[in-house]
């Protein structure tokens, strides 16, 4: 799925290239009580894995992610910092007991990746209905957004500095 997600990113974001990196074992971030993975420590590891020539690094995982104040997150990124992370787990219709739909999962993954990388590129959440930077609390809300940035958000895109 990574090449397809990468191609989707290049269609919407101002990136020069996208290439897959090495895998990361996220066992260190597992919370046995919640049976989920804490996304913030994974972001920190990702930041350390970022090639010096890259402005951003995106992690894609099947693991269910959380941050302590929320029951789950589709992904996480810190504002204007290089690392971003998305989970495919709750993008899959099968998570909700529905038939699997690879095309839908890929489109949701692309949108979540663009959304989190929007945070990397300095954007906060947007209230425009069609904007990819609108916050989503359910998978169906990801489907209702447009595939890209509203004009206002597009104007605000700014790469993080190379040293983070
Ligand atoms: Zn967000
Ligand atoms: Zn917007």
Which pLDDT belongs to residue 18?
Answer: 76
Query: Is the entire prediction scored with pTM above 0.85?
Result: yes
Which pLDDT belongs to residue 7?
Answer: 87
Task: State the residue range of the domain holding 111.
Answer: 2-11+29-156
Q: Which residues are catalytic?
A: 116
Tokens 């049976």, residue located: 35
Q: Is residue 164 part of a domain?
A: no
CATH of the domain at 101: 3.40.390.10
Q: How many domains does the chain have?
A: 1
- CA of residue 120 to ligand 1 center, whole Å: 10
Write out residues in the chain with pLDDT < 70, as ranges. 161-164
**What 3-state DSSP class applies to 57?**
strand
- CA of residue 125 to ligand 2 center, whole Å: 7
Q: Is residue 163 part of a domain?
A: no
Which pLDDT belongs to residue 53?
Answer: 87
Distance CA 163, CA 160 (A): 8
């Amino acid at each position: 799925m990574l090449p397809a997600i990468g191609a989707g990113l290049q269609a919407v974001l101002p990136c020069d290239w996208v290439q897959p990196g090495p895998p990361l074992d996220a066992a260190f971030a597992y919370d046995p009580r919640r049976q989920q993975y804490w996304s913030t420590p994974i972001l920190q590891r990702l930041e350390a894995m970022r090639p010096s020539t890259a402005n951003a690094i995106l992690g894609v995982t099947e693991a269910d992610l959380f941050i302590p104040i929320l029951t789950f997150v589709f992904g996480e990124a810190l504002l204007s910092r290089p690392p971003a992370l998305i989970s495919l787990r709750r993008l899959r219709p099968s998570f909700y007991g529905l038939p699997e739909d690879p095309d839908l999962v890929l489109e949701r993954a692309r949108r979540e990746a663009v959304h989190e990388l929007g945070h990397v590129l300095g954007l906060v959440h947007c209230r425009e209905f069609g904007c990819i930077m609108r916050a989503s609390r359910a998978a169906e809300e990801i489907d209702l957004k447009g595939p890209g940035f509203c004009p206002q958000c597009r104007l605000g895109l700014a790469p993080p500095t190379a040293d983070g």
